[in-house]
Chains A and B, each alone.
Chain A
Amino acid sequence: MKIKNRKDLDKVKDDGMKSLFPKSPQISISMSTCGLALGADHLFQKLTEEKEKTGVKIALRQTGCSGFCNLEPILIVRLPGKPGLLYTNVTVKKTLKILHDIQQKKITTEGLLCTINSPASIDTPDIGLNDVPDYNQAYPFKHQHRILLKNCGIIDPLSVPEYVAMEGYSALYKALCQMRPEDVIKEVVESGLRGRGGAWFPTGFKWDMASKSSGDEKFVICNADEGDPGAYKDRTIMEGNPFKLFEGIVLAGYAIGSHHGIIYLREEYHHTFEFLNTAIEFAKQYGLLGKNILGSEFNFSLNIVRGGGSYVCGEETALMDSLEGEVGDPRLRPPFPIEKGLWARPTIVNNVETLSNVPLIIQNGGKWFANIGTEKAKGTKILSVVGNVKHPGLYEVPLGTNLKQVIFEMAGGPFNGKSIKAVQVGSPFGTFIPADKLDVTLDPESLKKMGSMIGSGVIVVLDQDTCIVDILHHLLTFFVEESCGKCVPCREGVSRMEELMIEIYNGRATINDLNLLNELGETARDFSLCALGGGAPAPILNGIKDFKKDFEAHIKTGKCLLPSK
């Protein structure tokens, strides 16, 4: 059915509420890339078989990724009149036990992490449920400010009604019915939203310029070429709540006067590709993409294009070259994409997280969004905390949260009682912050003061057993591998830096080589064509300064400087 007016929208919303709070028992399995890797499809199959064998009346459904892959497979049990129950790290055996308990009207407490969305009309909970915390109070969701990821892992990502039940598409409806494109841009400008892909460019400003540049056709490109090592926030949004992203893309198109959107998806996201295509079909069925969206005059089509597996294609001009079928080399600027982008038409390129923030801004107003975060950086940021921590995962926090709090309170600090040696914020271009300087707030400005950056929000925690020279060499091999080779400083300079790093690592270098490394780094930083060559030297240059002892140890002895065991 196509949604054409408020009445249709309310009807779909009712359908969504019915499936979120069902009249009969329902089990949802998290079936994202991470869940599938841990056997969610096998689990689904076993449950189906068991259901047929025992004849138990239960609905089997799926959810998306919640951002904590180490808790997968995740199971949500919804019983009539009771809050949803979220089980983590389930196995086939445990699942079958849950199924049998449902049959006997019991509630399994083993593996139960939290309860979800208790509606007001609930009966007094059964004994044993009192100790179970609510979703917002349970570790690891505690301390987070989940506005973007609110629905991820909770709703069925392919169900339009469930998304609408969670206030989805109310922003688009509001924009198409009550707002002019200028008003949408004004709201985004007021919110102070900045690009979440790493450059932190003001989104409203970009849209404003794109809306004013003339062209027979304009494009909205959603940059989903998530290549930063350790980052998976975009995948979680796309697989956990794809319609929120679609809503944001259509809003962007409406704001700048574009009728065509493209999601440039990372090549390695095979499952996401299939998944998003299905989601687009569903959105079309409900009249949320295609012609006359939500019954208005506005038309918008959305396509997905897969990248070719090159990191540099995440750079917006290289991305457009790749879309045009050329080799993905960054272009010279000016002209900027807002004047001459894809096929020489005005184009905006925005990250998945940026676009997903837009529906929230339109729905709640720019002022509401501007209240979250710091003076210059508004809103929340999804941080993917990886490395040697107890609870790696996606943590959505307001900008300006303390780094220490994220690492120790949320992610639980390093495991095995080890101490932290360094933390890289904004991998791979961010610098390694030594353990004694961790008391810093996470926002672009304060990190820039330290010579680092927040980038796309990857936080890599390294413990005392890591050698900085080794890890820097590893980073350099990544940059050498991923450089496009167009400009000399990046192609020749960074590969020579890697060469020198090998010499240093093996103890064949002198202190003079450190100076040469510095000189090379400075040249690559200042003279490179795009952000890859320009950003690559930062961790090295700062690493030489902050971890001089590690370098000296390698130059003198050829061995890593590690605490003796």
Chain B
Amino acid sequence: MITFTIDDKKVSAEEGATVFEVAREAGIEIPHLCYHKDMEPYGGCRLCMVEITENGFTRLHPSCAFPVKKNIIVKTDTERLRKGRKIIAELLLARCPNVDSVINLAESLGVKEARFKKMDSDCVLCGQCVRVCRNVAKVGAIDFINRGKKRYVGTPFDLPSDECIGCGSCHYVCPTGSMNMEYENVLRWRNLPGTLRKCRYMRMGFIPHKLCPNNFQCWNCELDQRMEDLAKTHPIFILKHSRSEEKETIGHFEIRLDRFYHEGHVWVKRINGLMRLGIDDFTRQILGTVSDMRLPFIDTVLEPGDTLFEISGNERTLLMYAPLGGKIININPDILDNPSLVNMAPYERGWILTVEPLDIPRASRELLSGRSAKEWLKLESHKFHEFIKKETGTDLPLDKPIPKDFAKTVSKDTWKKIHKIFFIRKKKKNNVKLFRIEDIH
């Protein structure tokens, strides 16, 4: 936790938080225009500037982008800041004298009338639409055109966009209501033949296939209503969270925090009451490549600690053990065709099998997750490096992945030791019958 001062108040915050967020939590609302809580800071409106004193030097910084630091002194409402914000509000009011949100913003800062020649724009160039389209929806149909005074938001060559997916997120985030990309595109799409009328949730990537039965009248659509209710914001922002999977690295091993881990280096993920299993990054890096596997038969009933499957690559094999008891429901058909998938995407398409668990409470007691999983992997990583140094004398770098041909370079004897120390956790119980992938082809 980092402690510092905002407006004479002592506050503390997690590392990586911004001054703006911390101030908001502490009940201090800093004026802002281009900030959006679900997007990266942009720092364009300059309204959220605060005075920050650091090491004896006081400077102005945009609070939306300034990460909290220890012992800084933040002032959010000084004479200098009020004066500057007033001028900025006045400039915006002169640009957009007929936009309600700008008029309200200016009024809240004590500006009623602008002293400059009035323009008639409805866009403040806060860039929220551009950012949501490019960074959240990952579409990039619109961007800034020209520079300086002539800058505006639009599509390439101002032509109707074929890239636009009509998600309406630009319209949703726009503080002044000047964006109407969605509407323009919907008008075009209504003229399409019925078989080409793709639902906007299909275009956004929520569902694989759905044609619009409503002639793009989303206000009549049940799916649209449900999605809006669920998201409580524009649905595109949920998509952002599902896209950026939570992953972290411990040393040079990747760990996914939405999974459970067994100390024998098998991960487990709950899917519809069943458990999906695969190998973790530790196993993947040590083995280097996966060229062949031996797998159990479907309907085999397992006890925790039974032999589960065997993977081989780089002329070495690893026998893995069952992290929990249950019945094997299915085996990933993709890896039967292509075992190297296990190596390429161990957490995703390279999962191995699905188990119907027998004793969920026991499994959740024994498996590691969250912080305990991180601690465990950290220890394992440390132990592994120490072991290799002692055994072979090579000093593997702590920040780089293990070389791909590592398994080949260690002797068979060392390999056996690695298997014993890092993969066998309990006394072996039963040897489940396994089949070779080659045998079924």
Contact = CB atoms under 8 A, between A and B. Distances in A.
Interface stretch (B90-98, B233-241, B262-270, B319-327): B90-98
B88 interface: yes
A523 B84 contact: yes
Interface string A486-503: 111101110110010000
B83 interface: yes
Contact of B91 (A329, A488, A522): A488
Interface string A205-239: 00000000010000000000000000000000000
Given A487-B45, A491-B151, A496 B94 contact: yes
Contacts of A496: 91, 94, 116
B44 interface: yes
B143 interface: yes
Q: Which of A327, A483, A492, A499: most chain B CB closer than 10 A?
A: A492
Interface in A456-490: 480-489
B43 A523 contact: no
A527 B45 CA distance: 9
Interface residues of B, number: 37
Interface in B194-212: none
A10 interface: no
A522 B79 CA distance: 13
B80 A485 contact: no
Interface in B47-106: 47, 49, 60, 62, 65-67, 80, 83-84, 87-88, 91-92, 94-95
A526 B84 contact: yes
A498 to B, nearest CB: 9
Contact of A334 (B45, B67, B83, B94): B67
A525 B148 CA distance: 17
A179 interface: no
A392 B65 CA distance: 45
Contacts of B95: 492
B144 A489 contact: no
Given A523-B83, A523-B84, A527-B49, A492 B147 contact: no
Contacts of A488: 44-47, 88, 91-92, 124
A356 interface: no
Contacts of A480: 148-149
B49 A485 contact: no
Contacts, number: 95
A329 B149 CA distance: 14
Contacts of B46: 487-489, 527-529
Nearest to A503: B117
Interface in A492-547: 492-493, 495-496, 499, 516, 519-520, 522-523, 526-529
A115 interface: no
Contacts of B83: 519, 522-523
B41 interface: yes
Given A492-B92, A520-B87, A527-B88, A499 B116 contact: yes
Interface residues of A, number: 32
A528 B124 CA distance: 16
Contact of A485 (B60, B84, B144): B144
A484 B144 CA distance: 10
B81 to A, nearest CB: 9
B115 A516 contact: yes
Contacts of A523: 83-84, 87-88
B438 interface: no
B318 interface: no
B125 A485 contact: yes
B399 interface: yes
Given A523-B83, A523-B88, A485 B45 contact: no
B345 to A, nearest CB: 21
A332 interface: yes
Contact of A529 (B44, B84, B87, B124): B44
A310 interface: yes
A485 B116 contact: no
Given A526-B80, A527-B49, A527-B88, A495 B143 contact: no
Q: Which of A214, A485, A488, A527: most chain B CB closer than 10 A?
A: A488
A484 B92 CA distance: 17
B84 A527 contact: yes
A530 to B, nearest CB: 10
B109 to A, nearest CB: 13
Contact of B148 (A482, A516, A520, A526): A482
B86 to A, nearest CB: 9
Nearest to B145: A327
Contacts of A491: 125, 148-149, 151
A484 B62 contact: no
Contact of A332 (B41, B88, B91, B115): B41
Interface in B15-66: 41-47, 49, 60, 62, 65-66
B376 to A, nearest CB: 25
Given A526-B80, A527-B60, A332 B65 contact: yes
A492 B121 CA distance: 12
A526 B58 CA distance: 12
B128 to A, nearest CB: 13
A499 B117 CA distance: 9
A493 B143 contact: no
Interface in B108-165: 115-117, 124-125, 127, 143-144, 146-151
A484 B127 CA distance: 13
A448 to B, nearest CB: 15
Nearest to B126: A488
A364 B47 CA distance: 50
A214 B149 contact: no
A488 B94 CA distance: 12
B84 A214 contact: no
A528 B45 CA distance: 9
A529 B64 CA distance: 13
B148 A481 contact: yes
A493 B91 contact: yes
A522 B60 CA distance: 13
Contacts of B94: 492, 496
A334 B67 CA distance: 8
B149 to A, nearest CB: 5
Q: Which of B92, B117, B127, B147: most chain A CB closer than 10 A?
A: B147
A146 B116 CA distance: 51
A531 to B, nearest CB: 14
Contact of A487 (B43, B80, B144): B43
Interface in A354-388: none
A519 B84 CA distance: 8
A483 B43 contact: no
A327 B146 CA distance: 9
A519 B151 CA distance: 24
A493 B143 CA distance: 23
Contacts of A495: 148-149
Contacts of A489: 46, 84, 87-88, 91
B148 A483 contact: yes
B92 A327 contact: no
A519 B87 contact: yes
A481 B150 CA distance: 9
Given A327-B147, A483-B149, 5 more contacts: A332-B42, A481-B148, A485-B150, A493-B91, A499-B117
24 contacts: A310-B147, A312-B147, A327-B147, A332-B41, A483-B147, A484-B147, A485-B125, A488-B47, A488-B88, A488-B91, A488-B124, A489-B46, A489-B88, A491-B151, A492-B94, A492-B95, A495-B148, A495-B149, A496-B116, A499-B116, A519-B87, A522-B83, A523-B84, A523-B88
Interface of A: 214, 310, 312, 327, 329, 332, 334, 480-489, 491-493, 495-496, 499, 516, 519-520, 522-523, 526-529
Interface of B: 41-47, 49, 60, 62, 65-67, 80, 83-84, 87-88, 91-92, 94-95, 115-117, 124-125, 127, 143-144, 146-151, 399
Ordered nearest first, which 9 A-B pairs have the shortest CB separation? A485-B151, A492-B91, A483-B148, A523-B87, A332-B43, A527-B46, A485-B148, A332-B65, A523-B84
